Structure 1
Amino acid sequence: MKNLFVSILIFTLLIGCKKGNDPVESKLILEKQNEFAIVIHGGAGTILKKNLSPEKEAEYKAKLEEAIRVGYTILKNGGSSIDAVQKTINVMEDSPLFNAGKGAVFTNAGTNEHDASIMDGKTLNAGASAGTKTVRNPISLARAIMDNSPHVMLSGNGAEEFAVEQGLQIVDPSYFYTENRFQSLQKIKSNKPSSIKLDEKDAFYDSNIKDSKFGTVGCVALDKNGNLAAGTSTGGMTNKRWGRIGDTPIIGAGTYANNNTCAVSSTGWGEFFIRTVVAYDISALMEYKGLSLSEAAKKVIQKKIPDLGGDGGVIAIDKQGNMVMEFNTAGMYRATMNDLGELYIGIYNE
């Protein structure tokens, strides 16, 4: 009976399209897949099974499950997608496993600098922060900027001053120190000259750095009210200099959400994701060309980004509850939960 109803609905809409309506405005109404759902990622890159011990693999999977269940519980209980996104990312920011918050990588100067962004698909309101060093949970700062300021993005000292005014948790920079991240910096610096010119871009992104730059965390969600939200948080790129900022805090590149289409969180080589406005491009392909979420994500991640020389991935969810986890790297830490409570966790390119 359900399939018969859908068939009748599609036939009716097709008849309507013959009246000369713009085809973009005459899209078919697709069957809803999930009343609510959530997707997370913990970064993409050269993640190979041979390089992860069984113990470390289990540790990653446990943290991914812990994080996604926080957001799932919020959604199941009727909470908002924006709350689910923030609280889920908080869990990953508090873990040293991921390059965000506690586990952030080190800059060339030996500091940890954080970027984050969040977006509400219902209102298109958004908030972002860049280059903070003392805010424990950057995604919470991005949320505060969205909710409690007239601005979209704040950076550096100003963003930290705002965080203090908002009563967010401020920590000593030493809180973000992790030995393995510090040793990664030392390894890269020992193999490179102390001065890197702008025209040495190709040398700057050597294999060591490339494998260290993908550790972003993100979350997208659809709630029971049909609202989408997306958020992303990162420590950036190991050995970054000159206040480099990637795609994570840039709305439309690292994060985008629109109830009319989808919610997207990116992880990858930020410079390329900025140039191609990855998150918004996926939404635009759906809105203006009528592509499905899967088709749009595949086109951007498997074609547009690689053609320019970049790599990485996205997680996304559309207004019908369809979920995608598209990446062109050896692996991406990822997980999904649907409205039935079914959990999927993945690491490698399987």
Structure 2
Amino acid sequence: MERVRVLVVDDSALVRKLMTTMLACDPAIEVVGTAADPLIAREKIKLLNPDVLTLDVEMPHMDGLTFLENLMRLRPMPVVMVSSLTVQGAEVTLRALELGAVDFLAKPSSDLANSFGQSAQEICAKVKQAATARPRARTAVRKLEVPPRLSADAVLPRVQTSGTRGGSPIIVIGASTGGTEAVRVVLESMPPDAPPILVTQHIPEAFSGPFAARMDRCSAMRVCEAQDGQPIQTGHAYIAPGSHHLLVMWDGAKYVCRLHDGPPVNRHKPSVDVLFRSMAASAGVGTIAVLLTGMGDDGARGLLELKQAGAATLVQDEASSVVWGMPGAAWKLGAAAEMLPLDHIAARLLALARQPHDGASRT
């Protein structure tokens, strides 16, 4: 089997050395070169033809984002960003994912005595997975033209009543690698009165708040980082915080968000399986669930539980996924009733939401 050829780009000699050492732990990876700045990297890409690039952001001569944007326009290739897990690092990394980076990893620390093995394992896994990805630059999304649907409220106001379990359907989304952009495409296509949406995206704690803020700016819905006990409302989308699992519970009058500080599930916290299971228990047939691009299989079994509970279930197709791990695992498990390209998913979610949610009628 051919080894994955990697070019490490970072202005820090220490980080270049640490990255090279960790990648060398995997016999399936070969570090073919390093570069201290984008100008050197540009020439080494031409000379060495690497399979994957690891890229720092703050570098001399040209910042990493500008270099990434030029690279994805002129020579698209899998890029893994090396990021600091800070609010500022989150903003830059999310922008890099918009521009076409496949994934990101934490910048290695000089003190790796207690974490070298775990860090090396994560870095090697992400680089090998990136080598199989289909890099793509940000896609322009044509927003859905959804005509307003008038009800009797336009003529006669209705007396406000408390919510019931038989009310509006709830949409739940799970995603990982490539998912920040896939989630954007879905949320950007939603009207302001869309059914409530809950999202579990595998993302670090420092990134989930900035990610929710970015989604709020690009969507007609109100998007926020979920809080414990927060009521789930039409026209709102809730992003799982990177530090807790997100669940949906019925509190006797309405659905609310619940945050759970339990152990990682499928090595993830938040976990898609946890969100999907909570929906199967609390909403069942009133759920519309979709599993988007991502590495691994988190969410596959939860999606099957939802399908068995009568929910409508979808997955993103392989051609439009950056990594068809999670949706592919769910499809092979028989957990999804439909498989669609990314740019068709929002319209299908809205169509399903307009149908009576009795399970059998959703076709």
TM-score w.r.t. structure 2 length? 0.29
Q: Which has the higher contact order (CA 8 A, sep 6+)?
A: 1
Question: Bigger radius of gyration, 1 or 2?
Answer: 2
| Bigger helix fraction | 1
TM-score when scaled to structure 1?
Answer: 0.30
